[in-house]
Amino acid sequence: MATNAAPVVLLTAFEPFGGAERNPSWDAVQAVAEAWDGPGTVVVEQLPVVFAEVRAALVAAITEHRPDLVIATGVAEGRDAVTPERVAVNVDDARIPDNSGAQPIDEPIDQRGPDGFLTTLPIKRIVRAATEAGVSASVSNTAGTFTCNHAFYELMSIAANESFRAGFVHVPATPESATSDVPTLPLADIVTALEVAVRESLDPAADAVLVGGAEH
């Protein structure tokens, strides 16, 4: 899709939801864009926490920016590490309503779509580089079944017909954003990990062969 001499990186994050006043994924991508010194440019877009609006928001952002790389992000309260996601699954099963009040349960995202999509980000290299930078990171094998997984699935569906690399990274709550007694990471650590994710993903090399699986 993109033919940019200097790469354009699109980072997306979500608006607050579930009673929270802020979303650390949005705080983090804004900080990455502000501090980015190349290669290329980083642009950011905020996605609505509304199942029915996510795909249109992604299409609009991709059409506007014509990116070479898209990394979607969202918060996973309860996790204690930055977690690049391996797979998006074709199901919405919302534990809580989205910001429009919708609460789909056991509904396919795309009636005609595949059961899932694998990320095209080098998630093992991202985890290794983030860990080497001093940030807790690990591969995740489930992005949940709320709007984060929905956005991940829709993004990979779009990317399947385009030429850009794409995927999703979950971030923990920050001390400032946590709405309950959950593990947190400083915003600066999350920003570092996302910067690492961008740099590793702009490198076209194959992913590292490292253990990232789980028994359950």
Enzyme catalytic residues: 85, 148, 170
Token digits of residue 207? 């992913």
**Closest among 139, 167, 165 to 152, alpha carbons compared:** 167
Helix, strand and coil percent figures for the chain, each rounded to 5 = 30, 20, 50
| Helix axes of 187-202 and 24-35: crossing angle, nearest 10 degrees | 60
Distance of alpha carbon 98 from alpha carbon 108, whole angstroms: 16
Best CA proximity match to 61, nearest among 193, 159, 192: 159
Residues 6+ apart with CB under 8 A from 112: none
Q: How far apart are CA 161 and CA 151, in angstroms?
A: 16
> Under a CB-based contact definition with an 8 Å cutoff, are residues 13 and 62 in contact?
no
**First CA to last CA distance, the chain:** 37
* Local structure of 188: helix, strand or coil: helix
